[in-house]
């Protein structure tokens, strides 16, 4: 008995077409998401909070010195606090870079 072709037989072809119509780079879509975040009031609030955290991290090491912590503990804490501040800075920089890239992107037709 002959059977009609089932619609799921074209599944692989649909995947190819969808992939061709998808954004060329998934990073492009992520850039738009980050730029939308960067242009929001929520981002300004979060960015301020991150800056306060970085200050708090610096103050932590100062308070350890005031309490008379050992040089080994102060040194270990200094390394960890620097790494934490760098990670927080990278988060802020990533969103700011995406916002700038999307904002300065040439408009279509111009």
pLDDT on residue 86? 94
Cα 103 to Cα 32: distance, rounded to the nearest angstrom: 10
Burial (0-12, 13-18, 19+ Cβ within 10 Å), 32: middle
pLDDT on residue 1? 55
pLDDT on residue 107? 67
Residues of the chain short of pLDDT 50, as ranges, are none
pLDDT on residue 90? 95
Cα 71 to Cα 64: distance, rounded to the nearest angstrom: 10
pLDDT on residue 50? 96
The DSSP-derived string for 3-50 is: -PPPGGGGHHHHHHHHHHHS-S-HHHHHHHHHHHHHTSHHHHHHHHHH
pLDDT on residue 2? 64
For the whole prediction, is pTM greater than 0.75? no
Question: Cα angle at 105 between 99 and 108, to 5 degrees?
Answer: 135
pLDDT on residue 108? 59
């Amino acid at each position: 008995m002959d059977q009609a072709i089932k619609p799921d037989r074209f599944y692989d072809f649909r995947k190819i077409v969808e992939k061709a119509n998808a954004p060329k780079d998934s990073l492009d879509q992520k850039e738009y998401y980050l730029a939308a975040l960067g242009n929001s009031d929520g981002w300004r609030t979060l960015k301020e909070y991150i800056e306060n955290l970085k200050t708090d991290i610096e103050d932590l090491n100062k308070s350890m010195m005031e309490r008379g912590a050992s040089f080994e503990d102060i040194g270990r804490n200094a390394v960890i606090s620097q790494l934490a501040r760098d990670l927080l800075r990278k988060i802020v920089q990533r969103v700011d870079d995406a916002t700038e890239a999307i904002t300065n992107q040439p408009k279509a037709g111009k």
